[in-house]
Amino acid sequence: MRCAVLGDPIAHSLSPVLHRAGYAAHGLDWEYDAALVPAGGLAGFVGPLGDDWRGLSVTAPLKREALLYAAASTGTAERAGAANTLVREASGWVGENTDVPGAAAALRERVAAPPVVATILGGGATAASAALALCDLGVGSLTLLVRSPARAADTLAAIDRHPARPAVRVGSLATEPAVGDVVVSTIPAAAQTSDLVARCAEVPVVFDVLYDPWPTPLVTSAADRVVVGGLDLLVHQAVLQFELFTGRPAPLDEMRDAGARALRERS
């Protein structure tokens, strides 16, 4: 059986490392590769795939495209407005979003008390998934800090589709401080200016969805605080993908260790 991760750029992806470690732990003779697929190219790549293809991990900029392509999709993917997973079933490709439960699992693993108030930096597809994960954990108040309010429209719509519907405020990424129990960054490392980092200094938990480059400026400043990293998110969402693709329990420790080794080698 064959699986792959699709996106652009894709060379940095650790998904092949994680999934192959899972296959090795189970003795599965499966393949998992990375494929460069630009925006608008998902249907052209997926359409010709043969029956030996079982699952696809989907990263930027294809997550919303994948949701539209899927023959059916889960409630989580519909709520997020994005699919990071396509699973081949008899009826066709089914869209799923493992970013949402993966982010929730990553936070639960590192943080004892569930957050009540949170700030998210950024307003794209990953921010929407992070917001829904926070909603699942019981957050009652969310602040989205974005470059322009228009960038938050899809994320606001996703939050509104969640049954909890927490209080949401949109603020300026350029000027406003992060507030609450946790700050989740979905922005590039290059956008984490010293000024922005300083405005996040009072939040006790820092969750940066990036894993390459690592550590980011935001994480470097949080040495005395709780840090949840992009590898945590990547592993937990990959564990769920692995189980959807193979029907077997994912070897979490083996997959995490393989990812950590790969990151150490890169650095």
- pLDDT tens track for 79-100: 999 999 999 999 999 999 999 9
Active site residue 194: no
Using a pLDDT cut of 90, give the percent of the chain over it. Answer: 95
Residue 162's alpha-carbon distances to 119, 128, 130, 132, 209, in angstroms, are 17, 11, 12, 7, 21
- Dump strand ranges (E) for 102-150: 117-121, 141-146
Residue 243 CA to residue 136 CA, distance in Å, equals 21
- pLDDT tens track for 129-181: 999 999 999 999 999 999 998 889 999 999 999 999 999 999 999 999 999 99
Q: Name the nearest CA neighbour of 63 among 36, 82, 76.
A: 82
Residue-averaged pLDDT of the chain = 96
Q: Name the nearest CA neighbour of 80 among 112, 104, 55.
A: 104
- Strand 182-185 versus strand 117-121 pairing type: parallel
Domains of the chain, with CATH numbers?
A: 2-97+232-266 (3.40.50.10860), 101-228 (3.40.50.720)
- 58, containing H or E segment: strand 53-58
pLDDT of residue 6: 98
129, 191 Cβ separation under 8 angstroms:
no
pLDDT classification of 115: cutoffs 50, 70, 90: very high
Residue 61 CA to residue 14 CA, distance in Å, equals 17
Q: Centre a 10 Å sphere on the Cβ of residue 173 and count the other Cβ atoms it contains.
A: 20
- pLDDT tens track for 218-228: 999 998 999 99
Q: Which of 63, 79, 236, 256 is catalytic?
A: 63
The mean pLDDT of 2-13, rounded to a whole number, is 97
Cα distance from N-terminal residue to C-terminal residue, the chain:
32
